[in-house]
Amino acid sequence: MHGTVREKTNVVRATGTGTTSLSNGAGAAAVLAAGFGSFALGLIATLADKSAGIKSAMIFSKPTGPLSGVTTSAIVVWLIAWVLLHVRWHNRTVNLGRVGAAALVLLALGLLLTFPPFADLL
């Protein structure tokens, strides 16, 4: 209860002017979840490439092959992360510098892991 009250104080409302200043929590949740989703995509793709067992488990649709499982799993990770982070942060003000840096690092790693010559080094 106390936590809820404290969280709501982070939503500044200037009702007199009709403007509303939203907290950055919802945006931070979306950004970090996108980072998680991107990283999950690169990681699962790399794991499927390295392990025959994981590659076989990723065949959700036979015509498309392992790509179907890799991408579906990454989307599931992304959406779950988004929902969980949104529920936790949507009314809060978070340290966006750290969250943004983490999200961009995850995105960069995800991008690198999708690049075959980089994944082959691992």
The answer to whether residues 52 and 65 touch, using CB atoms and an 8 Å cutoff, is no
| Residues 52, 13: Cα–Cα separation, whole Å | 55
56 vs 61, beta carbon nearer other proteins: 61
2 vs 95, beta carbon nearer other proteins: 95
Q: Does 37 bind other proteins (CB under 8 A)?
A: yes
Q: Does 102 bind other proteins (CB under 8 A)?
A: no
What is the DSSP track for 41-62? HHHHHHHHHH-HHHHHHT-SBT
Q: Nearest approach, Cβ of 5 to other proteins (angstroms)?
A: 23
User: Which of helix, strand or coil describes residue 93?
Assistant: coil
| Residues 66, 7: Cα–Cα separation, whole Å | 43
Sites of contact with other proteins (CB under 8 A): 20-22, 24, 26-28, 30-31, 33-34, 37-38, 41-42, 45, 61, 63-65, 67-68, 70-71, 74-75, 78, 96-97, 100, 103-104, 107, 110-111, 114-117
